[in-house]
Amino acid sequence: MIEGRHFAAATMIGARKRQEDAWSVQVVTDDDTGEGLLLAAVADGMGGLPAGDQASRITLRNFVGSFPLVTKPPAQRLRPALAHANHAMRTAIEADPSLRGMGSTLVAALFLEDRFHWLSVGDSHIFQWRGDALERVNPLHTYGRELDARAARGEISAIRAALHPQRAAITSAVMGLRLDEVAEGECDLAAGDVAILASDGIETLSDEELAAICGDRQSAGASQIAEVIILRIEQRALPWQDNVTVVVVCPPSPTVQGE
């Protein structure tokens, strides 16, 4: 537990042949105050491309590893740490050209006492649950987002946007190239809030189902929320199920200790 919050992670391989997700929860120190802050991150290697599992590990290891070394206040370290991870990806590809094309998504959040700062690249998710409502925090960097914008402007029909075969294509990822699309922001935290970082395999469940799990299990703690999310996805047994990784951060349960 850190900063009055519990955290837990759960993962599953799904119907894939290998696990291409990676996750991390680390305690980092605010040099000015000496406080320990929680840094959570999930990376998802891009399926079907070379070395997706390596891509997520390289991204996560270098993002988390460089974060404490950035000489800025903690809330300002997310973007420099991302740049370091992207540079490490480029270095790995230059050293082994067979890895060209590999890439990874990344979502990360730094939790302070009353808020969290977040950053995202790609189509992984950050959710915030509060008072029975689930909010999607970060925009997804997918072609579907552009299609929806074009439909809203009347350039194409909503049906064409919804059924486009390339709708799920990722438009931004950590690939060692210039990062033109990076989303970042800040969310306030109130008592009882639950934050979830997840790879896109969580999309098997609807927002309403995720909200219900948070509402039912919030008092039991982060481990219960994470485990039930994975259990519900496993129960669907979809033949095309992607890898799933969830990191849950929530207030401590009065009945559960040691998460």
Q: Using one digit for the tens of pLDDT, what is the confidence trace for 121-174?
A: 999 999 999 988 999 999 999 887 888 888 899 888 888 888 887 788 899 999
Helix boundaries (H) for 130-169: 143-152, 158-163
Mean pLDDT of 198-225: 95
DSSP state of 174: B
CA angle (17 as vertex; 12, 18 as ends), nearest 5:
60
pLDDT band at 216 (very low <50, low <70, confident <90, very high): very high
Are the C-beta atoms of 43 and 8 separated by less than 8 Å? no
pLDDT band at 258 (very low <50, low <70, confident <90, very high): very low
Question: Shortest CA distance to 171 belongs to which of 85, 231, 105?
Answer: 105
The dihedral region occupied by 139, where left means phi > 0, alpha psi between -120 and 50, and beta the remainder, is: beta
Cα 36 to Cα 100: distance, rounded to the nearest angstrom: 38
Angle in degrees, 0-180, between the axes of helices 78-95 and 52-66, rounded to the nearest 10:
140
What letters, b where the CB count within 10 A reaches 16 and e where it falls short, cover 58-88?
bbbebbbebbeebeeebeebbebbbbbbbeb
Q: Which domains does the chain have, with CATH numbers?
A: 6-250 (3.60.40.10)
Q: What is the pLDDT of residue 151?
A: 86
Cα 78 to Cα 23: distance, rounded to the nearest angstrom: 16
What does the pLDDT look like over 89-121, one tens digit per residue? 999 999 998 899 899 999 999 999 889 999 999
What does the pLDDT look like over 17-69, one tens digit per residue? 999 999 999 999 887 787 889 999 999 998 666 789 999 999 999 999 999 99
